[in-house]
Amino acid sequence: MSLKLRLPRRDFSLGVEPEHRINFIWLWIALFMVFVAQGLTLPLFPVRIVEKGISLQQYGVLKSVASLAVILTQIWLGRFSGRPRDRKFIIIASLLIMAPAVIIFPRAETMVLFGVLLVFHGAAFNVLRTLTTTWVSLWAQEGEMGRMHGIFRISGSLGWVFVTVFLGFLLDRYAYGTTYWLAAAVLVGTAVFIALGLKGFDDYTRQDTYTATDDIDQAQQAVIEPFVWPLEIKLLLLASMIFTLGQTMGLNLDVIFFVQELGVTNQQFGWLASLQAWFEMPLMLAMGIVSDRFDVVKMLTLGVFVAGFRWLLLSITTKAVWAYGVQLIHAVGVTVAEVLMVTFIARIVPGQYLAQVLGWRVATGNMAVFMAPALAGVIGDYLGLRAVFRGSALLVFLSACIIYGLSRRTKEVHPPVEDLCS
């Protein structure tokens, strides 16, 4: 007598409609390659700029200008979100803009040229990232949007981790500009990969189809009453903005700190860049599951506090080996920002108002990203890099306190969600 063990069938659909799975895999590989190119160059940008005699304050101004360009391109992108052929053309163009920018970067000498390169590189990458995310969103199966985006988001983390481990070896073994040339080759190769690989855009899905009648029907069905913002949501958006401000201040200067204050070797520099993304992948997957079973506000408060603790630890770090552990905490901040904050908003805001609230979250986040580099540069020039990290920690801790107060207020008041927004 023999026993047969029948295992349940596993679903490898990726959360994507069957007719779009090949294109999804193609874009997943493309995003992996783009982050390989980013990992070869992005950690080196701040170090190169400061090495050329540009002060931290001037560097902060350059980053703020680049952030403003990213915000402006976000507005311009709306007209291209509905036509697949336009999306493909713009993504390829973005890659071909990034390639010469990274080739010229190691040869730049002046603040103006660095600023122009940061603007073109940052804006092109933002266009690419936004359009690819928009594109794959149209291919998700019903009820699988979160799963699909989680799988797609991980491709970038894998690309970053894969290449930054070898960054120190490349810097030691080859000339400084080699990594930039290699990154440019990867970007051009990715453009060719997308041009040859993505097919079948004559078959529009329901999500891709757009008519003026659809807009009229949606407008007639929309809620007429204006949205009355409750204090709880205002406090959450304030906490999110403060959190983004603190995080961005530290992230703009941490690699400069590693080189100038800790005196890391090229090998150590590569590992420090890589370690910050190691826990990002498992945390990104785990948070989506855990947040459905536990109190999101408590998890969010704890996560924000841990993210602030990372900057406090970095401000007292004196050896490169200690920085390894500090860098691992970086993933908590990324996961909090991209998963738990949005999850909490989605839970307390009714569906008809969710897009409006999330739009304001993006807008306030962009304001913080714009202000953070200049503010960090001024503090760094006058008080030192460690003072920047202490300031980042204080801002993130303040955000945690606001969220904690919000959780207590929500429990005390505890109104129905519909009443909260009416």
Q: Mean pLDDT over residues 318-343, rounded?
A: 81
pLDDT digits (tens, 9 = 90+) for 256-307: 999 999 999 988 998 988 888 888 777 776 765 565 566 777 788 888 899 9
pTM of the model: 0.76
| DSSP assignment string, 24-63 | HHHHHHHHHHHHHHHHHHTTHHHHHHHHTT--HHHHHHHH
Mean pLDDT for all residues in the chain: 79
What's the pLDDT at 168? Answer: 85
Identify whether the C-beta of residue 209 lies closer than 8 Å to the C-beta of residue 379: no
Query: 174-178, 246-250, 402-406 — which one is most confidently predicted on average?
Result: 246-250
Of 5-9, 106-110, 225-229, highest mean pLDDT? 106-110
pLDDT of residue 205: 43
Distance CA 240, CA 389 (A): 18
**What ranges in 198-319 are assigned the alpha helix state H?**
212-221, 231-251, 254-260, 266-275, 280-290, 296-315
| Structural domains of the chain, ranges and CATH numbers in brackets | 15-202 (1.20.1250.20), 225-422 (1.20.1250.20)
Mean pLDDT across the stretch 14-40?
86
Q: CA dihedral defined by 77, 80, 86, 91, rounded to 10 degrees?
A: 30
* Per-residue pLDDT reduced to its tens digit, 147-171: 676 677 788 888 998 898 888 888 8
Does 100 have pLDDT greater than 90?
yes
Question: Can you say whether the dihedral through the CA atoms of 215, 221, 225, 226 is positive or negative?
Answer: negative
Q: What is the pLDDT of residues 348-384, one digit of tens each?
A: 676 666 666 766 777 788 889 889 999 999 999 999 9
Q: Are 26 and 197 in contact (CB under 8 A)?
A: yes
Residue-wise pLDDT for 175-221, tens only, equals 778 899 999 999 999 999 998 887 755 434 444 433 333 443 444 44
Half-sphere exposure in the Cβ direction for 93 (13 Å, CA): 10
d(CA 114, CA 108): 6
Q: Which DSSP state fits 8? A: P
Nearest Cα neighbor of 335 from 401, 285, 260, 271 is 285
Q: Under a CB-based contact definition with an 8 Å cutoff, are residues 62 and 45 in contact?
A: no
pLDDT at 7: 39
